[in-house]
Every structure is written in C-alpha cells, then in structure tokens.
Amino acid sequence: MFILVNLKAYPCDPVEVATAAREVSEESGVRIAVSPQAADIARVAETGVETWAQHVDPNDYGSHTGSTLSEAVAEAGAEGTLVNHSEKRLKLADIDGSVRAAERAGLETCVCANNPAQIGAAAALGPDAVAVEPPELIGGDVSVSSADPDIVEDAVAAAGHVDEDVEVFCGAGISSGDDVDAAGDLGATGILLASGVAKADDPRAALEDLVEPL
C-alpha cells in the first residue's frame, strides 16, 4: 500500500511533515511520499522522503512563463507527480501532455479522476497510476472507501479493463488506518490524502495511525 500525502496549499510546515513521513516509512516499511508546493520540493526532498510534485504542465523548455516544468521539479528532487487533481483540472489533451512530459523527465505519474468512467479514460493514457476522488468527499470526514465503496471497486475494474499495469489509488476523506485498510480490501493499491495529515495537530501520530493496520 502506497500513501501519498498531498500538502496542497495548507499552512503547514512541509519539512516537519516530510520528516515525520520519512521516519514513519522507515519504521513501518510502508511506502510514504509527500507532495508539497512546487517552491518546497527541494526542501522536502532533502529530508529523504519520497517527494512528488502536485502538478506539471504539458510543455517542454521554452517560452512558457508561469508553467511548472517536469524537468525542473525532477531536478529539485521530485520522483513523481500528480496530474489532473480535482483542484487543478486539465483538458484530456493536456492530461496526456502532462503525462508525456513527466515521463520525459523520469517522473512517476498518478492521474486523478472523479469516477470510474474517467478512470478508464485516464488509464488509457498510460500513467503509472490513477486515483479516484469524488470531489464532494475531498477534504471531508467521510472516506470514499466507506461512503461509496462501489466507486472504488468499479474504478479498479475500469482501469484493469484498459491496462492491468496501471495501479489504482483512492482518495477523498481518507484519515485513518481503518480507511486505508478498507481501501485495500476494495482493490486499491494506494491512497491519496491531504487534510488528514497536513492539518493534523500531530502529523507523525496521524501517519502512524494510517500505517498501523499495514
């Protein structure tokens, strides 16, 4: 089970969360990564935790002011990137372009989608993983694995029908070890979460709770 902690633009200390994630990962043997703001990628990567970007743009080097270049985040220490998070939606052609750009820079990719139909379309683009995240549950206290387990199972089936090598993560409302356990039972091989760790009073304790059933 892979745990990917998205720090979004929350007012947390990214180095504190990253350090806690690295320590919990080393102690538990569970793969944990942290996805900070682009400006914090280098600082987070220096902690030794697996580091992901929150977004990369579908462009190469050139006249692209304000873009997030895949090569730049890779050079800063990122090993992977989210694409098409529900708070950073892209057109299908741009999702494809961002996945290709990430591949060019050697970044692992996870394309986010809202439902199983979109998961199937995303899987057809050949990312390393897809993540199903119903927007109405993002940032809430109820996890997708408990509120709508069918959507997770259907997403796993949709991705597998297109490309069995594409892993399926689930997100939205994940905040406890029970949520992680339930996601695994439904066929997910990873989870994507944010507020459950980034807004926790004690990020290390939150992470320890997430890995406890694993």
Tens digit of pLDDT for each residue in 57-101?
A: 999 999 999 999 999 999 999 999 999 999 999 999 999 999 999
Residue 53's pLDDT band (boundaries 50, 70, 90)? very high
pLDDT for the residue 145: 61
Residue-wise pLDDT tens digits, 185-202: 889 999 999 989 999 999
pTM of the model: 0.93
Is 95 marked as binding a ligand? no
Residue-wise pLDDT tens digits, 157-169: 999 999 999 999 9
**Where do the structural domains in the chain lie, given as residue ranges?**
2-59+76-211
pLDDT for the residue 91: 96
Is 120 marked as binding a ligand? no
- Residues assigned a catalytic role: 85, 133
Calpha distance 25→171 (Å, rounded): 19
Cβ distance 96 to 114 under 8 Å?
Answer: no
Mean pLDDT of 119-124: 96
- CA separation (Å) from 138 to 63, 153, 174, 196? 34, 18, 9, 11
The DSSP-derived string for 141-180 is SS-HHHH-HHHHHHHHHHHHHH-TTSEEEEESS--SHHHH
Is 194 marked as binding a ligand? yes
**Residue 206: exposure state from Cβ atoms within 10 A (0-12, 13-18, ≥19):** buried
Q: Class for domain 2-59+76-211, per CATH?
A: alpha beta
pLDDT above 90 as % of the chain: 80
Is 77 marked as binding a ligand? no
Is 190 marked as binding a ligand? no
Mean pLDDT of 5-25: 97
